Amino acid sequence: MSEPVLPRAVILGCAGPRLSADERAFFRDADPVGFILFRRNVETPEQVRALVAELRETIGRADAPVLIDQEGGRVARLQPPHWRTYPAASVLGRCGEEAVRLGARLIADDLARLGITVDCLPCLDIPVPGADPIIGDRAYGSDPETVAQLGRAAAEGLLDGGVLPVIKHIPGHGRGTVDSHLTLPVVDASASELDRFDMAPFKALADMPWAMTAHIVYRAFDEARPATLSPIVISEVIRSRIGFDGVLVSDDLSMKALGGSFTARAEGALAAGCDLVLHCNGDRAEMEAVVAGARRLTPESAERLARAEARRRSAGPFDREVAEARFESLVAVA
């Protein structure tokens, strides 16, 4: 009996709140591992549930991962009036570990009701003075111990609600002096300083199921290539020094920190050691180029995905009303 064909090692976005017939055909042929949703894809709970189901239906896998960036603060794809507002990580960090965990548990409840199974949270980056504000209040604190403690609380809150967390942006985005959405950051800190400070929260949470790379050059490890495209950073730093052996997904390939064609970006990230590449904006021409450069999953990456999926706990009893009231009391002091 022949081995089953593994899906393509890519996560894709879609253009709007509903799929066109053309998009359905494209996704069916592309056969991505899964999908990611953005604000443009969101109208109402009923609409999101239908879109999530339709995305999975196009590729014939009811358990395909569907991701979202629902951090709170300025990074929130689900917003009022249908979903509550969550404070930014820096605010929750001042409210304490219980607030962080409970906020993540409420977010998990929001997502699970929609069929979304992976949240790109927690952000374990630690901003330093002079850094670009792209991380800013998305960070839980300014020291590794606080960020590790509160990052774990957020991750466990998601897992308690049956949603997989994604630790990001490994091995640390906090020193970037420019926004990687716009240009390529270069970090000159020593290996020992990166190891002691930036990478410490990632080491503490190396047991988590998913991680997302940083589009940053760390000259201490690789003079020219950003982490996403660096076999040295992925093998020697992320997999070895940090000890992360879960699903490693690239940050968005459409960010301007990366150069070259979209096909070359996808090929390069996968060749460097990413398990999956991520393309978010739903642009058809870009997606076609990414898919052209994205091979099928390797058996090793498929095993990592299976292990991650096994971590998705069935959500236990959860009284939303009681949790909301407790959460409000905790954040009222912020």
Report, as residue numbers or ranges, the catalytic residues. Answer: 181, 251
Task: Give me the sign of the Cα torsion angle 118, 122, 127, 132.
Answer: positive
Q: Which residues contact 59 (CB under 8 A, 6 or more apart)?
A: 7, 27, 28, 31, 32
Q: How far is CA 200 from the centre of its chain?
A: 19
Q: How many Å apart are CA 57 and CA 214, to the nearest integer?
A: 31
SS3 34: strand
Q: At 270, list the tokens.
A: 């996968």
| Burial class for 285, CB neighbours closer than 10 Å (0-12, 13-18, 19+) | exposed
* CB atoms near residue 39 (< 10 Å): 11
Q: How many Å apart are CA 206 and CA 193, to the nearest integer?
A: 19
